[in-house]
A = this chain, B = another copy of it.
Amino acid sequence: MDIARSEVFEAGTPIACRSCQARHGVVCGALSNAQLKELNRHSLRRKVEAGSEIIAQGSESSFYSNIMRGVVKLCKMMPDGRQQIVGLQFAPDFVGRPFVRESTLSAEAATDAEICVFPRNLLDRMIAETPELQRSLHDQALNELDAAREWMLTLGRRTAEEKVASLLHLIATHAEPQTAISAAFDLPLSRAEIADFLGLTIETVSRQMTRLRKRGVILIENSRHIVVPDMDELEKISA
């Protein structure tokens, strides 16, 4: 994302964060009206298209964001190019690493997305002044930690088939009201990204998807759109 390089908070037309309206992000949901007003003066609503980088691994980031729409992937890259996706974030998640300037991972829009961008210094001050905000962010951090550890189990101990089923289950759960028996959703990730999330190759991902399709566990309407007739079946396979 170009915001990272250019001086964001000088250029562009700041749009009030109160435009979040129906759905507040993690940050603005925890602030008083006075704080919101101040934040609004310095925050920016931003559309980012799929594939653009929001935070670069190894860089010092001068801002945080809230995801208002879309999916963001968190990636770690090794010097030789091997890559691992270490998390997916959805609205209204907070993006950034409080208390530490340099990021050990990159954040990239997996789909077209909209984010609210906040200057780091201002938000750091608000976190220090606002226990409720700290609590919200603490809460999100703990939820991400639970999710990361669950995924460690997937990476370390599940088979390729179970990994693919786990991913489909994860996406379906975030896309659907999760009450329904069946689900239909768009994958926010390409096969290559799925492979990088599951610690597999694209070929193995493709073969496992085909296997699930042939068994009737999923329908592949096209490579990005999936229908799951029976979520219990999928959950059983993901073990």
Contact = CB atoms under 8 A, between A and B. Distances in A.
A153 B139 CA distance: 24
Interface residues of A, number: 40
Given A142-B141, A145-B148, A148-B148, A156 B153 contact: no
Contacts of A152: 76, 84, 86, 148, 151-152, 155
Q: How many subunits of this chain does the assembly comprise? A: 2
Contacts of A104: 146, 149-150
Q: Which of A80, A83, A97, A152 is most buried by chain B, counting CB atoms within 10 A of its CB?
A: A152
Contact of A145 (B144, B198, B199): B144
Interface in A119-170: 131, 134-135, 137-139, 141-142, 144-146, 148-153, 155-157
A78 interface: yes
Contacts of A86: 149, 152-153
22 contacts: A76-B153, A78-B153, A79-B239, A83-B157, A84-B152, A86-B152, A98-B138, A99-B139, A100-B142, A104-B150, A105-B149, A131-B131, A134-B134, A137-B138, A141-B142, A145-B148, A148-B148, A148-B152, A152-B155, A155-B155, A155-B156, A156-B196
The 9 A-B pairs at the shortest CB distance, nearest first, are namely A156-B199, A155-B155, A86-B149, A148-B148, A138-B138, A84-B153, A141-B141, A84-B156, A82-B157
Given A78-B239, A138-B138, A141-B142, 5 more contacts: A74-B149, A78-B157, A99-B142, A152-B152, A155-B199
